[in-house]
Amino acid sequence: MKIFICLTILLQIFVLQVRTNECELTLNDEIQLTANDFIQSQQLCNTSNFSMTNRRRISITGRLLDYTTRCQKSISNANVEIIRIHSNPQLICSDLHHPNSHGYFNLTNVILRFNEKVLLRVTSPGYKTIYKKIRLPLSYERSEEKVVNYQIVLTIDTKQNQSQHDERMKSIVDRLLCQMTLDEKIGQLNLLSINFNADGAGITDNLREKIHRGGVGGILNTYTPKAVRQLQELAINSTRLKIPLIFGFDVIHGHKTIFPVPLGLSSTWNMTLIEQSARIAAREATADAINWVYSPMVDIARDPRWGRIVEGAGEDPWLGSQIAAAMVRGFQGHNLSLVDTVMSCFKHFALYGAAEGGRDYNTVDMSPLRMYEYYLPPYLAAVKAGAGSVMTSFNEINGIPSTGNQWLLNDLLRNQWNFTGFVVSDWNAVSEMTVHGLGNLQEVSVRAITAGVDMDMISEGFLTTLNKSIQEGKLTEQTINQACRRVLEAKYKLGLFDDPFRYINESRAQTDLFTQENRLAAKDFARRSFVLLKNDKQILPLSRSNLTIALVGPLADDQRNLLGAWKAAGEYNQTVSVIEGINQLLGKNIQILHAKGANFVEDLNMLKILNAYGRDVILDNRTATEMIDEALQAANKSDVIVAVVGETRGMSGEARSRGDIGLPDCQKVLLQALFNIGKPVVIVLMNGRPLTLTWEDQYATAILETWFAGTETGNAIAEVLFGYYNPAGKLTATFPRSVGQIPLYYNHKNTGRPYNSSDILYTDTSRFIDIPNDPLYPFGYGLSYTTFTFGPLNVDKTKLHGDADRLTIRVVLSNTGAYDGEEVVQLYIADPVASVTRAVRESKNFQKVFLRTQERKEISFLITTDDLKFFDSHLNYIWEEGAFNIYIGPDSVNTQSIHSSILHRLFDLITVQFDDKLDASKSGYRDDLTFLCDLYEKSFGLINLPSELTFRLAHMYILNGDQDNAIQIISNKLNSKLNDEIYHYLIKFLQLDSSLLTTDGLTTIGNLFLSFRVSEPIRKFWNLFFDILLEKTSPQDLVQYYSDAMRENSNIPYLHLFKLFIEKNELNRLQDIVDIATLQHGSRNVLHDLAFTLIEGEKIKQAEKIFRTPWLKARNSRINLHALLFADSNNLDALIEAIKLTRNLPGVNQSQLFTSAIRVALRLNQSDMIDWLIKEIQENQIQLDIRIKKYLDAHLLSKGLDPLNIEAYKSQNKNEKDSISSASDDYDGMNILLSL
């Protein structure tokens, strides 16, 4: 029976490992084709007319697999299409094929032309569509047949039927918003923490009343089906609209079954395993009635003094981004409405890990370049992975706390990154902005919701102040509606409107929590997270028989601390201690002599802090000497000493920053005594951060970093110590030698005087004079029980030529030791010369490889321009041509390198001046042009050509009569990140080549801009475009183009069209433009702009003529305000002419007209204008707004004149003199205010 159980466990572990290592989701290649292009591709290709001298033959084979089953299921119901795109965008066709019943496809004898782009498109009902570019090197021989093999792994398409899903969600949310009162809307933005126990939730009368009136949108820190049901029933049964609550909890590294802390999990360097850990945590959390988790924490941390480094993935933005996406995928699965998925809330947005001095909640201050390059990428990765929510951070950014930072939450998160979920504050973060110095609770609450916070955690600032702020005009209800909509949409996505009790299932709580399968996974995750830091004399693994070990240290027989920070619902008494794990594994074969040896800490002040929220640390009643003596007695009788030392779980985590990150002194005293015996000492570390271990590393025989490994800690440590598993973890955070080195991280930059360790006497370098610069253990470091050797690096080329090119680098990895094992082959790239300073090296890829003893394997990496991109000084994400270095090795320091370079193409072969002096008839020019164009056709997608070269090549095509290719490369360029340089050369291109463009060609270029948001450069483009188009076509055709374009982008500017048609006296066409623009922008705004355009150009006569035409008569009641806009010109005569013109129009409200005119005059401080207006008002007895009259009276008093004498006002203000006096005091201030 025991043998059967062992075999079952081994089989599960084997299956777990296979699933972890072999099933990788296929990602789409980037393509620059529209939906219309793909509609065209439905026509089948005819290859019979392909020239025999201009073709190549390939075979494409592969298999389609289902990702949601970990590649255990093949996909046979699918289309596999080869899509061919000729250089002419109109020539698109496809070849259709199908896989067999096992998912295999074999496309043989595929004939391709050399001037084609070729895509593989895979579609299957219910799955996401995959596009893969088929890339062959330019050097590929035409006579050679190439075989291309793919394993394509498809995942469920959550976007299928998304339109219907979104429409239903919008319908439900819209209906609720119409029914909700303002207080009920605000109540949805209120998140409360509620205690619970075995009897259920702690429902007070105050809470009951608050829920009853719709004052609570969500609950955190309550779980179990019983407690959650009580609260949800209260929300559904006692509220007017029966809106369900959302229930959140900090599920950081497991829920009931606890896995290694996130810093430990990241050390596995295994994305599938990390995703699986989140998937299991989601299943357990939902079984306990939770549907929203505040995880993952994706903050980059370079300072190990910061206690919350334990919750993240370390210091590297690239690796951190992979882990962030994996965690989000694991929590949310492919369908949020399933009962075993939870909504992820990534945190803490943003830059929380960069707190000054590593002190939690402290100020963050950094340059935008550092922010974008090193700290923001993991947040963006979580957004791209589809995270449903985000939590703000406590720190400030650019002087504004994150919770009230509009640039962060609106401009960056929503506008730049297109995040569509909802934003929740961290605990009490809204009210804490008052301590930051931003105002009282009402003021900071307005600031938070205006910035983009949708839900207020704990502070109840939203609940108690927002209604008042709306009444006082400090906030609009529209802002409340938007925040409420986002919260309601989250509840819809979780399926709560269909079934508010869908996550409350007592039977799942009995079957899905803390299962044997989950515990097996926890043990596997734990042992894979361990990092072997030292192993002198190959002391590890230990012998499994005839061995006496002294097992000492305060953590050797401890359960309470093994779960680490944020233990969720984990129970320490279900955790396996180290001594228990060894006894269960080998208790009968070896002798264990146990002694505690030391307390965790003996500093009484530290002890008070650690025990502030519970008695986690209990001092032994014995003296330190007595405990050490006991340990020495055991050590003297042993063959080897295993010392289990480190931090308590309360020494890392939130608000657990440490100034000294070494082992506590009392534990060091114990280690010193053990070292003095002279026997081998194996240190087993438990901690939540990198520690300073310089002294320990000097004297210990071996050091095994185990972090806080969770529920199965003891079993996992036992298996690693005795060689049942060969440790393969790698550090994701640098271990410094001394606190004085902090911050210390691998991807630092060089200084102008970098330190040279080979010349220690040269002092004028960036160095310490008392300690080395280098770390004790670098990023990526980790040993194994076996040995791995890396062969020389080989590349298929040393130069990349633009975006379309690829470089493959290979290295042979050999296991030359006595044990099977895993190695993480790490790829780093350095860019030694760039437009901004770059890091000495940056992580770009890795492969975790399992090799049996004496086995060897070739490892290859594909390098593209995406691996070379960085943010320049303007925050454009680009790559630049030049040399770069590639490093491969087992960590970030011990690497070998190879040098390569990237060229934009061979444009240095031809020198072409990009101006109107270029002579296309010059001898040899056309041959050179043909060469360049042919070269381009064989290298599609060069969107990152320098802008000048892109438009130079387009210019060449135009001169050669090839408009289609010119437009194609311009289109490709516009698919890259837009910047001022692109606009500059595009406008230069239009000015130079517009005469050679056809009308269709010009409008095609215009269509490329329809999807862009209007900015100043875009506005300049449209102005030039309309000028050129009017030269090429009729005014009527221009109006028709504008009408069609406005259907695609309602923000296309129209002012320049007004000017064009006014100058050409095309008043009928002007009428058309006004009518089209009015449909999108309203007559008030459009006529306002029309009046400005007319009078700014001093077209008073034309204005009068236009305003009197029949098509504007119906709009006359609104013109009075618009005709005044030109007043910014300070032209008094024109002002008077405009007012005279406007007041004579039928239907004009004289009071509104003169009130508006006075406001303009006050704003511009036009004293003469004010005097003229006063004269007109008095002569015509025009009534004014009483407040405006006050300021006019004050103006008159300031000149020693009597106030306005208008009969209508005598009954309105009995205390007119007092009012005038008050207004006089404020007159100067009013002028200043209006002028702003």
> Can you give the pLDDT at residue 715?
98
276/1149 Cα distance (integer angstroms): 70
**Nearest alpha-carbon partner for 246 in 191, 325, 202:** 191
Residue indicated by tokens 């006991």? 630
Question: Which pair of tokens denotes residue 406?
Answer: 């509009």
821-830, strands of its sheet edge to edge: 799-801, 896-903, 882-889, 821-830, 842-851
Show the CA angle centred on residue 498, arms to residues 486 and 67, nearest 5°.
Answer: 80
> Can you give the pLDDT at residue 959?
73
948/935 Cα distance (integer angstroms): 17
1083/721 Cα distance (integer angstroms): 79
1156/1088 Cα distance (integer angstroms): 13
* pLDDT band at 1099; cut points 50, 70, 90: low
Query: Is the Cβ–Cβ distance between 473 and 439 less than 8 Å?
Result: no
CA 1032, 1035, 1036, 1040 torsion: positive or negative?
Answer: positive
Does residue 805 sit in helix, strand or coil? coil
Residue indicated by tokens 């049996």? 852
Query: Is the Cβ–Cβ distance between 488 and 241 less than 8 Å?
Result: no
Query: Is the Cβ–Cβ distance between 851 and 956 less than 8 Å?
Result: no
Where is pLDDT greater, at 144 or 985?
A: 985
Residues 123-168 pLDDT 10s: 887 777 888 877 655 444 444 556 667 777 777 665 555 667 788 9
Question: Which pair of tokens denotes residue 804?
Answer: 């379309």
> Can you give the pLDDT at residue 89?
43
CA distances to 252, 520, 584, 718 from 722, in Å: 30, 18, 12, 6
Neighbours of 791 (CB within 10 A): 14
Pairing of strands 389-392, 343-349: parallel
pLDDT of residue 16 exceeding 70: no
Mean pLDDT of 1203-1231: 41
> Can you give the pLDDT at residue 1134?
62
690/688 Cα distance (integer angstroms): 7
* 631 phi and psi angles, rounded to 5 deg: -65, -40
User: Could you say which of 66, 288, 316, 426 is catalytic?
Assistant: 426
Mean pLDDT of 410-432: 97
Residues 483-530 pLDDT 10s: 999 999 999 999 999 999 999 999 999 999 999 999 999 999 999 999
> Can you give the pLDDT at residue 811?
94
- What percentage of the chain has pLDDT greater than the value 70? 76
pLDDT of residue 284 exceeding 70: yes
Mean pLDDT of 274-298: 97
Residues 1123-1168 pLDDT 10s: 444 444 455 666 676 676 666 655 566 777 777 777 767 666 677 7
pLDDT of residue 570 exceeding 70: yes
DSSP 148: E
Mean pLDDT of 797-810: 83
Query: Is the Cβ–Cβ distance between 1026 and 1060 less than 8 Å?
Result: yes
> Can you give the pLDDT at residue 1234?
32
Where is pLDDT greater, at 368 or 1160?
A: 368
720/727 Cα distance (integer angstroms): 7
Threshold 0.85, pTM exceeds: no
- What stretches of 225-291 show up as alpha helix (H) in DSSP? 225-238, 262-266, 271-287
Query: Is the Cβ–Cβ distance between 1125 and 1093 less than 8 Å?
Result: no
Mean pLDDT of 104-125: 72
> Can you give the pLDDT at residue 275?
94
pLDDT of residue 12 exceeding 70: no
Contacts of 1104 (CB under 8 A, 6+ apart): 1141
DSSP 662: S
Q: Which residues of 931-970 are buried (b: 16+ CB within 10 A; e: fewer)?
A: ebbebbbeebbbbbbbbebbbbbbbbbbbbebbebbbbbb
What is the CATH superfamily name and number for domain 22-154?
Carboxypeptidase-like, regulatory domain (2.60.40.1120)
pLDDT of residue 896 exceeding 90: no
The end-to-end CA distance of the chain, in Å, is 86
Question: Of 347-356, 733-742, 923-932, 1138-1147, which range is least confident?
Answer: 923-932
Domain boundaries, the chain: 22-154, 788-903, 907-1154, 1155-1236
DSSP 122: E
For the chain, what is the mean pLDDT? 82
DSSP 928: H
Task: Count CA within 13 A, CB hemisphere, residue 902.
Answer: 30
pLDDT of residue 898 exceeding 80: no
Most confident by average pLDDT, 49-58, 614-623, 1222-1231: 614-623
Contacts of 556 (CB under 8 A, 6+ apart): 577, 578, 579, 594, 596, 642, 644
> Can you give the pLDDT at residue 1144?
63
> Can you give the pLDDT at residue 1127?
40
Contacts of 269 (CB under 8 A, 6+ apart): 319, 729, 730, 732, 824, 846, 848
* pLDDT band at 38; cut points 50, 70, 90: very low
> Can you give the pLDDT at residue 102?
76
Where is pLDDT greater, at 1086 or 471?
A: 471
Domains 22-154 and 788-903 share a fold: yes
Does the domain at 788-903 match CATH 2.60.40.10? Answer given as yes
pLDDT of residue 446 exceeding 50: yes
Instruction: Answer left, alpha or beta for residue 210, where phi above 0 means left and psi between -120 and 50 means alpha.
Output: alpha
Task: Count CA within 13 A, CB hemisphere, residue 651.
Answer: 28
Question: Which pair of tokens denotes residue 1088?
Answer: 């306002």
Question: Which pair of tokens denotes residue 896?
Answer: 């070998």
pLDDT of residue 435 exceeding 70: yes
Most confident by average pLDDT, 342-346, 986-990, 991-995, 1134-1138: 342-346
Mean pLDDT of 779-795: 96
> Can you give the pLDDT at residue 252?
98
Residue indicated by tokens 């399933």? 338
804 Cα distance to chain centroid: 26
Contacts of 305 (CB under 8 A, 6+ apart): 357, 358, 359, 657, 658, 659, 661, 689, 739, 742
pLDDT of residue 312 exceeding 70: yes
423/409 Cα distance (integer angstroms): 8
Query: Is the Cβ–Cβ distance between 624 and 599 less than 8 Å?
Result: yes
Q: Is 1031 exposed, middle or buried (0-12, 13-18, 19+ CB in 10 A)?
A: exposed
CA 510, 512, 513, 517 torsion: positive or negative?
Answer: positive
Give me the residues paired with residue 84 across strands: 93, 118
> Can you give the pLDDT at residue 1111?
46
499 an active-site residue? no
Cis omega (within 30 of 0) for bond into 890: no
Contacts of 407 (CB under 8 A, 6+ apart): 397, 398, 400
Show the CA angle centred on residue 338, arms to residues 335 and 339, nearest 5°.
Answer: 150
Residue indicated by tokens 């989701």? 25
Question: Of 594-608, 754-768, 981-995, which range is least confident?
Answer: 981-995
Mean pLDDT of 631-654: 97
Where is pLDDT greater, at 1086 or 42?
A: 1086
* pLDDT band at 1235; cut points 50, 70, 90: very low
288 Cα distance to chain centroid: 29
> Can you give the pLDDT at residue 792?
92
* 259 phi and psi angles, rounded to 5 deg: -95, 175
* pLDDT band at 20; cut points 50, 70, 90: very low
CA distances to 755, 791, 864, 887, 889 from 811, in Å: 30, 6, 18, 11, 10
* pLDDT band at 938; cut points 50, 70, 90: very low
Does residue 822 sit in helix, strand or coil? strand
Neighbours of 373 (CB within 10 A): 20
